[in-house]
Amino acid sequence: MQERIMPTHYETEPSAYAGKEPEYEGRQVMRTTSGEKVMIMRYLKDEGLYVVTSVDQAGVISPPYKINPDKLVKEAGAEKE
């Protein structure tokens, strides 16, 4: 049986990036400023928020949640070649 976890935080208000193009691609793995490993699912241009899911723990289902781009940090070695 897979464990389900709920995000401890999520953004509801549009960010300063609302209406701007995304900085990161979908399906890119990033870290949050709190150290959580997440995968970008999509970008909500009208809100300036990313929809992400946690990929920290194998076998754990994490529902998608919204996060401000300022809370994402590119992982070392994650750049495309």
* pLDDT value at 10 more than 90: no
> Does residue 79 fall inside a structural domain?
no
Count of structural domains within the chain: 1
> Does residue 52 fall inside a structural domain?
yes
How many Å apart are CA 81 and CA 73, to the nearest integer? Answer: 18
pLDDT level of residue 6 (50, 70, 90 thresholds): low
Mean pLDDT confidence for 38-49: 94
* pLDDT value at 20 more than 90: yes
pLDDT level of residue 81 (50, 70, 90 thresholds): very low
* pLDDT value at 3 more than 60: no
- Domain coverage including residue 64: 3-74
By the 8 A CB rule, do 2 and 60 touch? yes
Tell me the CATH number at 7.
2.30.30.30
By the 8 A CB rule, do 38 and 32 touch? yes
**Amino acid letter for position 65:** Y
Structure tokens at 52: 């992400």
**Amino acid letter for position 78:** A
> Does residue 66 fall inside a structural domain?
yes
